[in-house]
Structure 1
Amino acid sequence: MTAPAGDGITTSTGQRITTAAGQRITASAGDGTTAPARDGTTAPARDGTTAPAGDGITTPAGGGVTAPADGDGTGRETVFGGATTLLVIAKEPVPGRVKTRLTPPYTPVQAATLAEAALADTLAAVAATPAARRVLVLAGRPGRWLPDGFEVIPQRGGGLDERLANAFAETDGPAVLVGMDTPQVTPAELDRAARSLDDGDAVFGPAADGGFWLLGLRRPDPRLLLGVPMSRADTGARQRARLRGLRVTTLDTLTDVDTAADAVRVAERAPGTRFAATLAAISRTRHLAAAPTRGAAR
């Protein structure tokens, strides 16, 4: 899905936004709210230190430290610290356009509300993870659920494989990409994924349905994604096969929220998330609506 053409969007302070026409702007202060970190804290910068002059180490924007080529004796550039770009690919949570497999039993509005909560949890986890850049690759327009500190760019391409490849193309170094379907993801898991690229080539997070919830690449290459069939039971296996020959770190398997059963399972495993609280509120509303009215004929 490709985001519609835009004419400039105002979100929260300091965010850089690219419209569908390709124009990058700096947004002024808006009404975007920041979802809190999962544990109420913000993770510190992964390194944040500057090496003294003369030791051949430079500190790029974002706090990461890059050693010169062959600094580890392998002929590869070695990346340390928060030098990784974190990408979130997502859809604007509009009723009838997101989480359609949740309807029924949920209404389109309830499904979109759950999608917004899942996205907010994901963005909060990314915001609490050390990174050089945090980029939301969005189909649609940002809303109040967008925290500070994110660049927003439109999705480009037809199929999901093209959109993923184009998202990685927005980076010029190590990058980790997640979707909006795993609200249970934690900053610790994302940090582990990013750190694995310090001395590895790729990181892969398999999903319980046969897909994948995370993909990270030390040197993003469109050929590693283009042509991989998406939204199938063998998507994860096919994507993992593209990484053959690379040094790959495999993360724990997570459940994507695609069905009502998935939603319940994820909420049970991550009860402190906004997603779990939203599902509980919706469930209470549905229970009250289904309860017989006092005094009604039996």
Structure 2
Amino acid sequence: MQHLIVFIRNPRLGKVKTRLAADIGDVRALEVYQRLLSITHGAVVGMDVPCRKSVWYSDCIPKEPDLWSASGFEQCLQTEGDLGARMQHAMEQAFRENGGPVVLIGSDCPEVSPRILQEAFRHLQDTDCVLGPAADGGYYLIGCRTSFPFVFQDMPWSRPELFETTCRVLKARGCRVHTLEVLTDIDKVSDLKAFGW
């Protein structure tokens, strides 16, 4: 069965969008992140794709209901390690439980939409991997038909060469890769201004 994973940080003051917070303060950074969470949630619940949906929290699973639990998302806790180790763990668990394909998204992209998510799942019917490149050189989405643990190992996380490196590694292993449209994450004050936030 198809599965969509959403990676989020627990929305806590001083713990989210820390690079942005250095310029706009912790309170404003938390407001920005909560807005991004709402956009991401809306994109996922708005897509017309039958699949399991899970949200993976960075620190703890909230005891109180939140917008994810209220929408029927499975609630999971990210494992220890760097971003690659955490993503690999979540993807492999999804493949063990459901088969595939599996799509994983973050929660930093205000341009993510139901259409983008539907397109990712559609392309996974006839390709091995789908990547959604971010304008900063990373990616906002990765989807795989089957488990490719190597794609999360020894990668330049949070660096502008991440997307290109990931594509190169996949293609070197003979994987067919489909690239979605480039979208912009919000990481800097200039990103906020570009979106009129």
Residue 186 of structure 1 corresponds to: 113
Q: Secondary structure at the match of 1:103?
A: helix
Structure 1 residue 92: Cα displacement: 0.7
Range that drifts further, 128-137 or 192-201: 128-137
Question: Highest CA radius of gyration, 1 or 2?
Answer: 1
The equivalent residue for 2:71 is 148
| 2-structure distance, mates of 1:93, 1:106 | 16
TM-score normalised by structure 2 residue count: 0.88
Cα 1:105–1:223 shift into 2, 3 Å: closer
CA contact under 8 A between 2:8 and 2:58: conserved in structure 1? yes
Distance 1:257 1:204 in 2: 18
What's the CA shift string for 1:216-274, capped at 9, x where partnerless?
A: 00002212212212011111111112211211110011111101111222x35xxxxxx
Relative to its length, the structure with more helix (as a share) is 2
**Which residue of structure 2 lines up, in the alignment, with residue 167 of structure 1?**
90
8 Å Cα contact 1:127/1:149 also seen in 2: no
Aligned: 1:249 with 2:184: no
Query: Contact 1:161–1:229 at 8 Å: present in 2 too?
Result: no
Q: For residue 145 of structure 1, what is the amino acid of its counterpart?
A: L
1:177-196 per-residue CA deviation (whole Å, 9 max, x = no partner) reads 11000022110110000111
- The share of aligned pairs that are identical, in percent, is 35
Within 2, Cα distance between the matches of 1:84 and 1:263?
A: 33
Distance (Å, rounded) in 2 between the aligned partners of 1:112 and 1:180: 13
Which SS does the other structure have where 1:170 is aligned? helix
Q: 1:157, 1:166 within 8 Å by CA — same for their partners in 2?
A: no
Q: Deviations over 1:51-106 (max 9, x none)?
A: xxxxxxxxxxxxxxxxxxxxxxxxxxxxxxxx421111110111111101112432
Letter matched to residue 221 of structure 1: F
Which residue of the other structure, out of 160, 166, 170, is the alignment partner of 1:233?
A: 160
1:264 corresponds to which residue? 193
Greater relative contact order (Cα < 8 A, sep 6+): 2
Moved more, 107-116 or 123-132: 123-132
Mean Cα deviation higher: 140-149 or 185-194: 140-149
Q: Which amino acid aligns with 2:66?
A: R
Letter in 1 for 2:31: T
How far did residue 157 of structure 1 move?
A: 2.7
Structure 1 position 171, deviation (Å): 1.1
Partner of 2:21: 103
Q: Does 1:112 align with 2:35?
A: no
For 1:92, what is the secondary structure of its paired residue? Answer: coil
Q: Mark the CA change 1:99 to 1:193 in structure 2 (over 3 Å): closer, same or farther.
A: same
The normalised TM-score by structure 1 is 0.60
In structure 2, distance between residues paired with 1:90 and 1:220: 21
Provide the alpha-carbon RMSD of the alignment.
Answer: 1.5
- Rounded to whole Å, the distance in 1 between the matches of 2:109 and 2:156 is 20
1:193-232 → structure 2 map (5 Å cutoff): 193-232=120-159
Whole-angstrom distance in 1 between the partners of 2:13 and 2:109: 19
2:124 & 2:152 partners in 1: Cα distance?
18
User: What code does the residue aligned with 2:191 have?
Assistant: D
Q: Which runs of 5+ in 2 are unaligned?
A: none
Runs of 4+ with deviation above 2 angstroms: 140-147
1:137 aligns with 2:56: yes
Structure 1 gaps, min length 5: 1-82, 269-278, 280-298
